[in-house]
Amino acid sequence: MKTSRVSRGLVGLTTLVATLSLGTVWAAPQVGQPAPDFQVVDTAGQTWTLAELTGKKTILEWTNHDCPFVIKHYDSGAMQALQRDATDAGYVWLSVISSAPGQQGHVSPAMADDLTERRDAHPTAVLLDESGAMGRAYDAKTTPHMYLIDESGVLVYMGGIDDKPTTNQADLEGANNFVRAAMADLAAGQPIAVPVTRPYGCSVKY
């Protein structure tokens, strides 16, 4: 009697552990699967959720204005050009800052707006993910780290912004911008040719 209770307990425990560990595996975003949900405020205090974005194509850009890799893309104007092209094409562009308070890249709403204006950036909104909840849900590792979500809320691209993982502006010339390529594939109604790449940059300062 006792042994059977013990073994039933063991089975239960194993199942629990298996469920939990599978749970964490499922939490990691996967291309071709619904993108993880989020609920984050922007610099104007407005709350954004994934559900509200249904019907629109969305680009998520993890950023940290002090990170040399981010600086490379903003100082050259390449990121702003991409933001303009994307928003012109009907994309919602959300720049996400997951730096924790006190960490590099953490900004107040006013500072974030000031950065947007000073750098002539064109995001639809800048999300302030101080808790890192959204960053962890997307498994965002670097700045920049890029994600594309289609109209039905399915994640179609995640990874680096291009294939030249350096801080040198000169490397933008001739680099293959994966986000532009994914946008072109999506516009042509084709599956994304390169849906997952290595994100490069500074680590997200959770």
- Read off the tokens for 31: 């291309």
In Å, what is the CA distance from 170 to each residue of 21, 76, 157? Answer: 44, 9, 25
How far is residue 102's CA from residue 91's CA, in Å, rounded to a whole number?
32
Site size toward other proteins (CB under 8 A) is 30
- Read off the tokens for 157: 């691209």
81 binds other proteins (CB under 8 A): no
Q: What DSSP string runs through 25-85?
A: HHHS--TTSBPPP-EEEBTTS-EEESGGGTTS-EEEEE--TTSHHHHHHHHTSHHHHHHHH
Q: Which of 41, 66, 163, 180 binds other proteins (CB under 8 A)?
A: 66
97 binds other proteins (CB under 8 A): no
Q: Which of 40, 53, 67, 161 binds other proteins (CB under 8 A)?
A: 67
Q: Which of 43, 142, 148, 178 binds other proteins (CB under 8 A)?
A: 142
Q: Which of 36, 43, 58, 69 binds other proteins (CB under 8 A)?
A: 69
How far is residue 99's CA from residue 66's CA, in Å, rounded to a whole number?
11
Whichever of 87 and 104 has its CB closer to other proteins, that residue is 104
Q: Which residue has the tokens 């709403």?
A: 109
Least distance (Å) between residue 91 CB and other proteins:
23
Residues 150-179 that bind other proteins (CB under 8 A): 158, 165-168
62 binds other proteins (CB under 8 A): no
91 binds other proteins (CB under 8 A): no
Q: What crossing angle do the helices spanning 68-75 and 78-88 adopt, rounded to 10°? A: 70
201 binds other proteins (CB under 8 A): yes
Least distance (Å) between residue 86 CB and other proteins:
23
| 201: helix, strand or coil | coil
Q: Which residues bind other proteins (CB under 8 A)?
A: 18, 21, 25, 28, 30, 66-69, 103-104, 136, 139, 141-142, 158, 165-168, 196, 198-206
